[in-house]
Amino acid sequence: MKVLIVEDDPLHRSYLHEAVNAALPECDTVIEAENGTVGEKLARDHKSAHIVMDLQMANRNGIEAARTIWKERPETRILFWSNYSDEAYVRGVSRIVPDGAAYGYVLKSASDERLKLALRSIFIESQCVIDREVRGLQQKSLGQTNGFTDSEYEILVDIALGLTDRAIAKRRGLSLRSVQNRLQQLYDKLDVYQSGGDDHEDGRFNLRARAVTVAFLRKLLNYSALERAEAELQEWLDGK
């Protein structure tokens, strides 16, 4: 059995290496990659390897890497090991996981024990292991209560990218008015009207910009999500 570790930080990398050795005596080779690009390449070279992947990496982030890896080989087992449980990450991951694939999401703050258990569950037993905290987010976001529809999330990303209503309409194949409807829906859910709605109206917000900020502060968006969305946008722009 082979395990591929994809992780930015040398300290974390060697920690992972040890953890893998301790948790999986049946594993005979451990390979390391220090960014997403190298990770993809090594995954291609070692087709049987299971993967432990950091999400936040400078060169090419974990979600990107995982997507191309899964595209080539959907049955690959990947354990995401991340510092954060931003909804943006969680959403990003669940968007790309293939049907029936075994994967995991464990926070770096988890104990050694938890990490080892997760390693064994996923790589040996093919079971999904999602950190409790992450799991909570996932359910809240999928359940309609307090969560965001895909269409709402989509339009959030679009205004975060800085598109006009018209451009969004064109991109998503909607009328102008429909786009604006979704925006209102979004504004409602993000509670953008806060602080100033009742008394004097002088401190009002620019709803569009405020929505993006609030989403950022709530970790619905983060840098990595923006980066991905921007790449998709450019692709679309080039494709006419």
Separation of alpha carbons 238 and 223, rounded Å: 23
Of the candidates 127, 178, 213, 222, which one interacts with DNA according to CB under 7 A? 178
Separation of alpha carbons 76 and 56, rounded Å: 20
Separation of alpha carbons 186 and 150, rounded Å: 11
Q: What is the DSSP string of 32-69?
A: EESSHHHHHHHHHH-TT-EEEEES--SSS-HHHHHHHH
Separation of alpha carbons 144 and 31, rounded Å: 41
Considering only the stretches 27-35, 128-136, 181-189, 220-228, report the one whose residues sit in contact with DNA under the rule CB under 7 A.
181-189
**Residue 175 binding DNA, by CB under 7 A:** yes
**What residues form DSSP beta bridges with 130?**
105
CB of 151 to a second copy, least distance (A): 19
The site map against DNA for 122-161 (x = CB under 7 A) is: ---------------------------x-x----------
**Residue 206 binding DNA, by CB under 7 A:** yes
Considering only the stretches 35-43, 205-213, 217-225, 228-236, report the one whose residues sit in contact with DNA under the rule CB under 7 A.
205-213
Q: Under a CB-based contact definition with an 8 Å cutoff, are residues 179 and 165 in contact?
A: yes
Binding site for a second copy (CB under 8 A): 9, 11-12, 15, 83, 108, 159-164, 166-167, 170, 192, 195-196, 202-214, 216-217, 222-223, 226-227, 230, 234, 237
Interface residues with DNA (CB under 7 A) are 149, 151, 164-166, 174-178, 180-184, 187, 204, 206-208
